[in-house]
Structures are given as C-alpha cells and as structure tokens.
Structure 1
Amino acid sequence: MSVVLASVAFWAPVTYRLLGDDGQPETVKGRARYKRLKTSERRALDRRLRANRLTPDLRVAIRKQLDDQDSVFTSRERTEIEADLAAEPISDEQFLEATLVDWDFKDKTGQAIMYAPAAVRELCEDWDGFEAALVRGYTDAQQTLLKPQELEKNSEGPSATGS
C-alpha cells in the first residue's frame, strides 16, 4: 500500500555570501529543491557525512577501541561503528548530485538562472563557496526537523515513577 504524505522533493532557503565588485560582502538569496530521501537513502547519506569527519588518526583510535578485549560496545553499536568506518566520505559535489533537483536563483539583472546539472557544475566552479551553500541549505532544513524533537525531549518533566 502506498500513502502519499508529501511530495518527492522540498524547497529550502539558500544564502550565499561573496565579495562584491566593490569589495564589500554581497548576499545572494535563493532557494533550492532537494530530493526527499527514503529512510535507507538518508541513513546511507548520513553515514557518508559522518565518514567525512573521521580523520585517519580518529579511525585508528576507534579501531583500537573496537579491538580492545575490554571494549563495552554492544553488538549493534559495533555493527554501526564498523559500517561508519567502512563508509566512503562524500564530497559536496556528490552530495548535490544525490539530492539537488531544482533551484530558484536570479542573476544581477533579475533573470532566472535555469537549473541544469551543467549549470550547477558551472556556478559551483565560478562562485567559490556556492556548492557549500547549497549543501548547507539542505542540512539546515534537516536540522529544523530535529529542533522540535530536541525541545520536546528536553522539556519533558521527570517521570512520576522517578525512573
């Protein structure tokens, strides 16, 4: 059975700052449309994002902890950590290839910049930091999902049983 709760993609604001022609910071605002990932796709993407933060030294330290006879990791934790260690880091370009499906940006004259994979590559090359701004648009939107959960979790009163 299929139930439709939302469209296959969502819009999120994107803010990009660059040095303007007059040497002053300039802000470009627009929005990007990102693919709404399935649970398995999001988990795989999250794993690759976590892999980005695993430096070689950190990987060695984690591996050492896993191999330690006295390690207290559960079987499930061990499986998750092993999967994180095996995951391939993801570049911003790969991230956008997997998630970006459209955008709404205008040039200085007010003309719409048409979305196409070639246009994404060109603008990301021409505008240093634009690629990161597009990725940040996605991750910021995802963070808004966590904020209400965090607020709810942190605002719960103590249980009546004290446990």
Structure 2
Amino acid sequence: MEALTRHITTELPIGVISDTHGLLRPEALTMLEGCEQILHLGDVGCRDEDAAILERLAELAPVAAVRGNIDTASWAEALPLTLDITVNGWRLHLVHILRNFDSATSCDAVLHGHSHKPRHEWQGGHLLFNPGAAGKRRFRLPITLGKLWADERGLRGAILHLPLC
C-alpha cells in the first residue's frame, strides 16, 4: 500500500500516541491538549467500540493514524499501514512496527510504536521516535506519550510520562 501524504504548517506541538489497546486514559487527553495535530501510531484497539478512541482524540485536534497489528476490527481497515506527513517542511513517516519501515523512504523521522518502549534517538540521518504505550501497561514499562516540534530550529521530541496515581 502506498503511503498517503499530508502537509501541516504550525507553531504548536504535534501529539504522538501509540498502543492504547482499547484504553484512552484521561491523563493522556490532558497532556495532548493544545496540540495542532495528534498522530496515533497503531494498536488503537481490537474491539468495535475502540474506534471511539480516535473520535475522542479528534475532539482535541485533527487525528492521523496508522493501523497496528491488533487493529483488526472492521473500522480499522480504513487505517493505512503507513502515512507520510510533512510538518513545516519536516518529513515524518508513520508506521506501527519499525521493521516494516522501508529504508528507501525519504523522510526526516520515523515515528513508530509496537514495542511499548519509548525511544528518541537519531540514527542513520533519521529521528527514530516511539512515544511508548499510553494504554494498558506491559511488563514494567512506563505509560508514556510524546510531543514533537518541527520548525526552523529543528526537529525535536519529548517523551512524557503520564502522571498516574
């Protein structure tokens, strides 16, 4: 499937969330307030009612999402496997599982999920950014999401830990 492309111009941060697995925490919603766009990097959920997660996120900002390996309900068939977004000239490539990234893809950053492990590192000329998992806890991994800024100062990201009680 060929990647779709969208273009965004903004001074506001881009919210990045992944692996909600049917659970959209109120803390995640609070942390995503004020974002220009929200990117969901897959594994929204496998039940019919999990489509409501994307609808709820869309109440905060426009949402772009890719399909994850557990996104098997009929509504998820409309989600692309990859998505290319340009933010202020910075090229972002969205994919759920990093090993499915085609290294021939021209981009500045690869945004991915799946592992539930937060990642923010430059490698081979690309920013590899995984916001971690904002839904159900896996093992002892933290519950996190991310924000990206893409402007004349560069491409920068932050991993944010959800303040859970």
- TM-score normalised by length of structure 2: 0.26
More strand per residue: 1 or 2? 2
- TM-score normalised by length of structure 1: 0.26
More helix per residue: 1 or 2? 1
